[in-house]
């Protein structure tokens, strides 16, 4: 190769390299001194070769240098190397003196390996960080490198050739492309819509998670076709053959398919309503390379639409069936709309109901008009609340006056400005009449009850003195001096006066219970009260005899003591009076706490009561269920009245010839006003 005279090597590294090479050639050329001509010719050829190698080395289009010795002293470096790494004064200096930052990057270890083994090393896109500008800022340079050891005349490793191509721009461009592709891939993968691409044959080349979820499987890239084992249907449920599916038509006819609803059945059997958007793709020569398809899942939207349609149909049905007149006032246009119930209830034709608010207000009774209008306007101006209600009189088309209750709701826009007022008018004329009648009946009932109480009071009071006189006279009659006929008359007369006396006492007791609202209440020891009450019946208990069993789990009952004694007295008296003659009488009395009450259970094994016939009568006035036993039928009525007057309850279970069970519940908490009364007294 001829030497270009313009590329004469003038640098020291060229002279050093030639001098070194001459020394090597002198040691390697075997000739005799007496062959001077031959030697000069060889030296000339060698010098020419060295000149050519030096020019080639220093002007090569790649970065190149020569490191000598184990300290890797720069013996030669071309201009491209100096320019790439930003260093000029490097010849004769060790590598780490020029680039101390390489000490921590593994470069020196790599050179040591090459120097020690004599094996060359090549690296691709090796990153090298250098302080190129001397300002401490490290610049990363990517290099395709070759490290080639060279030997001296003795065959020993004497240094290393370095050849490198600066591929920084290529690497950075590739990284940028990879980052862009990753962003694109991440974007595709995270899109809610199913997206996939195929080649010209229909094989899947790319797909995202949404597509895999839609299919119910993950197809093999470049192998499986887009449909795989899925089925495609039209919106009406008709099966779509594979060769006329949207993606197939896009590939066959090379045209986009947009927005025609289809149903995809996954391999799991799930159906999804989707809108396909498939588009063919081409290379730079216009050849078809495949297609990209985006499937918008509208399943939830379809369900919502169906639910909305059902809701609307249900609402329309309710509107037709209800007795409410639905109205809507457009606050922007001022128009008022009514449904068909408005015509049915109030008689105004529906086709003429699109009217202004003033015309609607004019139909309100004159005495209610201003009040209703003002309440509506106030509600519209008050943005804090949206519900409105009013009762007023409304004039029907036939002139009749209807009482209505009107409820409305204000709808606002995004700026919290009222735009619509929706409500319902309900005709409550009949209800108002019923309420008036009920109030009248209640008033009459209260008056009658008062009169009845007065009558009872007067009757019992006026009869008490004559009755006492009769009882006194009967007691003074000499019974033994009477004949049998008069004795029988006296017995009947005495029995009648005693029954009348008992009835008057019972009536007085009922009046006392009804009128006394502040009787004292206290926690009563049930064992003590029950023992005292049993003392009243000592003779009967011992004579019959009566077996009594108690289990007072709850020992205190919040109640009026006199009332509790009366309740227990009535129950024991009835058990003795209506006992079963064929077996000994047994009484079982228990107490326990239950859901805020104290439950007292009173059980006997007496004759029992036929509840099928007498269930609704058992606690009534003057009710008797055993004709062959004396009694006036006031006891259970008084018992229930006493219990319920303090918020308690009483229930009964009974079976003829087996016995009766009473369940009495006393409120566990003492009412404050009754407790205050007790404490003060």
Please give the full DSSP string across 446-485, using - where no structure is assigned.
HHHHHHHHHHHHHHHHHHHHHHHHHHHHHHHS-GGGS-HH
| pLDDT confidence band for 161 (50 / 70 / 90) | very high
Q: Which residues of 136-170 are buried (b: 16+ CB within 10 A; e: fewer)?
A: eeeeebbbbbbbebeeeeeeebbbbbbbbbbbbee
Cis-peptide, bond into residue 660, ω within 30° of zero: no
> What is the overall mean pLDDT for the chain?
81
pLDDT exceeds cutoff 90 at 565: no
Does any domain span residue 175? no
Mean per-residue pLDDT, 447-470: 59
Residue 128: predicted pLDDT? 94
Do both 340 and 397 map to the same domain?
yes
- Token pair of 454, please? 């007065």
Q: Which of 130-134, 211-215, 277-281, 560-564 has the highest mean pLDDT?
A: 277-281
Does any domain span residue 311? no
| pLDDT confidence band for 251 (50 / 70 / 90) | very high
Do both 225 and 269 map to the same domain?
yes
Higher pLDDT, 73 or 318: 73
Domain boundary among 407, 427, 447: 427
pLDDT exceeds cutoff 90 at 444: no
Do both 334 and 482 map to the same domain?
no
Do both 473 and 493 map to the same domain?
yes
Do both 97 and 131 map to the same domain?
yes
Does any domain span residue 277? yes
Task: List the CATH number of the domain containing 620.
Answer: 3.30.565.10
Domain boundary among 115, 141, 170: 170
Range of the domain at 438: 434-508
Does any domain span residue 23? yes
Among 429-443, 525-539, 577-591, which stretch is predicted with the lowest mean pLDDT? 429-443
- Could you tell me the CA-to-CA distances from 461 to 464, 474, 499 in Å, in that order? 5, 21, 16
DSSP label of 309: H
Residue 7: predicted pLDDT? 35
| pLDDT confidence band for 136 (50 / 70 / 90) | confident
Residue whose tokens read 């003429």: 352
Mean per-residue pLDDT, 88-106: 93
387: closest CA among 418, 360, 426?
A: 418
| pLDDT > 90 in the chain, percent | 34
Separation between Cα atoms, residue 357 and residue 354, nearest integer Å: 10
Please give the full DSSP string across 629-674, using - where no structure is assigned.
S---S-HHHHHHHHHHTTT-EEEEEEETTTEEEEEEEEESSPPHHH
Neighbour count for residue 416 (Cβ, 10 Å): 8
Neighbour count for residue 541 (Cβ, 10 Å): 18
Separation between Cα atoms, residue 639 and residue 659, nearest integer Å: 19
pLDDT exceeds cutoff 60 at 416: yes
DSSP label of 190: H
| pLDDT confidence band for 574 (50 / 70 / 90) | confident
Do both 239 and 146 map to the same domain?
no
Residue 537: predicted pLDDT? 85
Does any domain span residue 407? yes
| pLDDT confidence band for 25 (50 / 70 / 90) | very low
Do both 408 and 455 map to the same domain?
no
Who contacts 15 (Cβ-Cβ below 8 Å, separation ≥6)? 9
Do both 528 and 628 map to the same domain?
yes
Residue 637: predicted pLDDT? 80
- Could you tell me the CA-to-CA distances from 620 to 607, 624, 635, 639 in Å, in that order? 19, 9, 9, 11
What residues are paired with 590 via a beta bridge? 551, 601
Does any domain span residue 186? no
638: closest CA among 626, 654, 623?
A: 623
Among 13-27, 61-75, 546-560, which stretch is predicted with the lowest mean pLDDT? 13-27
Task: List the CATH number of the domain containing 358.
Answer: 3.30.450.20
pLDDT exceeds cutoff 60 at 517: no
Residue 10: predicted pLDDT? 35
Please give the full DSSP string across 160-174, using - where no structure is assigned.
EEEEEEE-HHHHHHH
Q: How many domains does the chain have?
A: 5
Higher pLDDT, 323 or 150: 150
Residue 157: predicted pLDDT? 94
| pLDDT confidence band for 502 (50 / 70 / 90) | low
DSSP label of 283: -
Do both 138 and 214 map to the same domain?
no
Do both 488 and 563 map to the same domain?
no
Answer yes or no: are the C-beta atoms of 556 and 525 closer than 8 Å.
Answer: yes
Separation between Cα atoms, residue 451 and residue 441, nearest integer Å: 15
| pLDDT confidence band for 24 (50 / 70 / 90) | very low
pLDDT exceeds cutoff 70 at 140: yes
Residue 672: predicted pLDDT? 46
Residue 67: predicted pLDDT? 95
Do both 441 and 412 map to the same domain?
no
Q: If DSSP codes are grouped into helix, strand and coil, which group holds residue 30?
A: coil
The 10s digit of each residue's pLDDT in 279-321 is: 999 998 999 999 999 999 988 888 888 888 887 677 667 666 6
Does any domain span residue 177? no
Conformation bin of residue 595: beta by default, left when phi > 0, alpha when psi is -120 to 50:
left
Residue 671: predicted pLDDT? 53
Among 146-150, 431-435, 505-509, 580-584, which stretch is predicted with the lowest mean pLDDT? 505-509
Does any domain span residue 185? no
Residue 77: predicted pLDDT? 93
Separation between Cα atoms, residue 207 and residue 292, nearest integer Å: 10
Do both 89 and 141 map to the same domain?
yes
Domain boundary among 253, 274, 303: 303
The 10s digit of each residue's pLDDT in 354-390 is: 567 888 889 999 999 999 999 988 888 876 677 899 9
Q: If DSSP codes are grouped into helix, strand and coil, which group holds residue 434?
A: helix
| pLDDT confidence band for 625 (50 / 70 / 90) | low
Residue whose tokens read 């001194």: 33
């Amino acid at each position: 190769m001829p030497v270009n005279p313009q590329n004469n090597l003038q640098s020291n590294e060229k002279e050093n390299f030639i001098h070194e090479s001459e020394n090597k050639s002198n040691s390697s050329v075997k000739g005799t001194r007496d062959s001077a001509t031959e030697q000069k010719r060889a030296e000339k050829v060698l010098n020419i070769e060295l000149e050519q190698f030096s020019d080639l080395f220093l002007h090569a289009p790649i970065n190149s240098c020569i490191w000598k010795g184990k300290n890797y002293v720069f013996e030669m470096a071309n201009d491209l190397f100096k320019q790439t790494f930003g260093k000029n004064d490097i010849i004769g200096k060790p590598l780490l003196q020029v680039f101390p930052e390489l000490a921590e990057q593994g470069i020196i270890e790599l050179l040591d390996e090459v120097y020690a083994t004599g094996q060359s090393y090549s690296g691709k896109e090796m990153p090298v960080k250098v302080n190129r500008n001397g300002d401490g800022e490290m610049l990363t340079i990517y290099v395709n490198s070759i490290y080639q050891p060279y030997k001296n005349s003795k065959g020993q490793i004497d240094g290393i050739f370095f050849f490198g191509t600066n591929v920084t721009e290529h690497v950075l461009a590739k990284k940028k492309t990879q980052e862009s592709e990753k962003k694109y891939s991440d974007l595709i993968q995270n899109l809610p819509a199913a997206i996939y691409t195929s080649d010209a044959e229909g094989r899947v080349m790319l797909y995202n998670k949404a597509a895999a979820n839609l299919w119910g499987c993950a197809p093999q890239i470049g192998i499986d076709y887009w449909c795989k084992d899925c089925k495609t249907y039209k919106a009406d449920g008709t099966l779509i053959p594979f060769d006329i599916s949207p993606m197939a038509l896009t590939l066959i006819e090379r045209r986009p398919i947009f927005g025609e609803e289809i149903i995809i059945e996954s391999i799991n059997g799930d159906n999804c309503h989707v809108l396909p958007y498939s588009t063919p793709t081409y290379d730079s020569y216009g050849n078809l390379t495949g297609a990209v398809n985006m499937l918008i899942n509208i399943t939830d939207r379809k369900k919502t639409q169906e639910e909305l349609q059902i809701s609307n149909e249900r609402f329309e049905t309710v509107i037709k069936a209800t007795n409410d007149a639905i109205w809507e006032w457009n606050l922007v246009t001022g128009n008022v709309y009514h449904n068909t119930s408005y015509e049915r209830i109030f008689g105004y034709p529906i086709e003429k109901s699109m009217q202004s608010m003033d015309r609607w207000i004019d139909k309100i009774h004159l005495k209610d008009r201003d009040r209703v209008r003002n309440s509506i306007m106030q509600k519209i101006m008050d943005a804090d609340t949206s519900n409105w209600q009013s009762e007023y009189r409304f004039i029907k088309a036939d002139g009749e006056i209807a009482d209505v209750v009107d409820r409305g709701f204000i709808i606002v826009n995004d700026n919290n400005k009222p735009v619509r007022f929706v409500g319902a008018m309900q005709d409550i004329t009949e209800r108002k009449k019923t309420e008036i009648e009920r109030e009248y009946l209640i008033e009459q009932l209260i008056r009658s009850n008062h009169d009845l109480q007065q009558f009872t009071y007067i009757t019992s009071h006026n009869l008490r003195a004559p009755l006492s006189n009769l009882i006194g006279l009967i007691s003074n009659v000499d019974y033994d001096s009477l004949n049998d006929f008069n004795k029988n008359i006296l017995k009947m007369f005495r029995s009648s006066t005693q029954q009348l006396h008992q009835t008057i006492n019972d009536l007085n007791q009922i009046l006392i219970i009804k009128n006394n609202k502040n009787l004292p209440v206290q926690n009563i020891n049930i064992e003590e009260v029950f023992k005292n009450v049993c003392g009243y019946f000592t003779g009967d208990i011992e004579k019959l005899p009566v077996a009594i069993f108690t289990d007072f789990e709850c020992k205190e009952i919040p109640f009026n003591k006199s009332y509790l004694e009366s309740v227990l007295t009535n129950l024991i008296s009835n058990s003795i009076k209506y006992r079963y003659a064929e077996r000994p009488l047994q009484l079982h009395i228990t107490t326990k706490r239950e859901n805020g009450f104290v439950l007292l259970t009173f059980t006997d094994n007496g004759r029992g009561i036929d509840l099928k016939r007498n269930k609704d009568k058992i606690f009534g006035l003057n009710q008797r269920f055993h004709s062959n036993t004396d009694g006036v039928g006031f006891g259970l009525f008084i018992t229930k009245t006493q219990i319920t007057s303090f918020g308690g309850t009483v229930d009964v279970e009974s079976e003829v010839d087996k016995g009766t069970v009473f369940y009495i519940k006393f409120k566990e908490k003492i009412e404050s006003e009754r407790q205050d009364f007790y404490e003060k007294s």
